[in-house]
Amino acid sequence: MPRIRNEKPHLEFRREKWCIVWWVSGKRHRLSTGSADEKRARQALVDFEKALEKHPLKMLMSDAFKRYIESRRGKVSALKRLQEAVMALDRAMGHLRVDQIEQRIWDQYAATRVRKPRRGDDQAIPVAAGTLRREFNVLRATMRRMWKDGYLVRPPEIEPPRDSAPRDRYLTKAEARRLLEACETPHVRAFVAIAVYTGARKGSILALTWDRVNWETGMIDFQEANRPITGKRRSIVPMTRALRAEMEKAREYADGDFVIHWHGKQVPTGLRWSFSKACERAQLTWKPTPHHLKHSVASWFAMDRVPIDQAADWLATDPATLRRVYRKFDPAYLREIADAFEL
């Protein structure tokens, strides 16, 4: 039986000195450590392995993306979103070395990045500006990780894509009522009710458990006990009278710990299909996403002239973001200037 060849760098004692032996493309290589001391030889082997691993010609972008994802595991709550962004980047750049990424490579990627075709599409449609920017941020973070780990002399200087304008379209309160009445299944109706009455993010609603619904105080705590605090904060808000009635109905159908469930199991990601069908039954003239519900609540608060600090606490959103994006919905914003302006 042929002996299994050890192709990884390892030590061999030769001519009273320790040598590092490794194989590349079927060819055997040997490098003397210059020492007969095994302890020093093992130290030299570790240094050699680090230098070999960090050689730019060896590190491909596909490996760099894997290393970046692993470095974020346990540190970010939305790891799946990073993995989704990496999938498209890996298909286009995975074969390149880390030292080959430059502005030209990104420009080519941005110009040819299209979304998956849908039914009725007769031509490729570019991805949304927000998607492209999210993928750019992942690429930039990956290159900075490689630089910090010593695989690059410095990260490449690549211009980011332009920011997209804040979305203006929101559900009117009449549309929100129609959408709520169009929900046919209890879990979808409960999701929409919580979203339109609290403005909470989809992830925090899907993770809500009944032990964080306080019937005595009428408060809902969206913050999970073991979830680390991130930039996407979660709030504690009171139930409105209408929401309390909806929550009491949902409690009658409760089967397990989670408020939003399907046959007793947590709904982990989506409601995308169910939400889309409810929008169709509500005869909406456009196609909102679950995130539009939070956006709509913030718009209603601005139109109702709710103070910025109170709206920020209710929505768990930075007050600066509310001022920048939503103050235009306040009908009284700049009105004094307009009334006083004359030629």
Summarised one tens digit per residue, pLDDT across range 53-89 is 666 667 899 999 999 999 988 777 678 888 888 999 9
Task: Give pTM, 2 decimals.
Answer: 0.68
Helix residue ranges per DSSP H, the chain: 38-53, 61-72, 79-93, 103-112, 129-148, 173-181, 186-198, 202-206, 241-252, 272-281, 290-303, 308-315, 319-326, 335-340
Q: Name the least confident of 164-168, 202-206, 257-261.
A: 164-168
What's the mean per-residue pLDDT of the chain?
87
Question: Residue 173: is its pLDDT beyond 50?
Answer: yes
- What is the spatial distance between Cα 82 and Cα 68, in angstroms, rounded to a whole number? 10
Please measure the distance between the N-terminal and C-terminal CA atoms of the chain and give it in whole angstroms. Answer: 99
1 pLDDT more than 50: no
The answer to whether 196 and 299 have CB atoms below 8 angstroms apart is: no
Residues 6+ apart with CB under 8 A from 62: 90, 94, 95
CATH architecture, domain 173-329: Orthogonal Bundle (1.10)
CA–CA separation, 258 and 78 (whole Å): 19
Is residue 130 very low, low, confident or very high in pLDDT (cuts 50, 70, 90)? confident
The strands making up 27-32's β-sheet, listed across from edge to edge, are 10-14, 17-24, 27-32
Task: Give the residue with greater pLDDT, 225 vs 159.
Answer: 159
Q: Residues of 181-207 as b/e, b for ≥16 C-beta within 10 angstroms?
A: ebbeebbbbbbbbbbbbbbbbbbbbbb
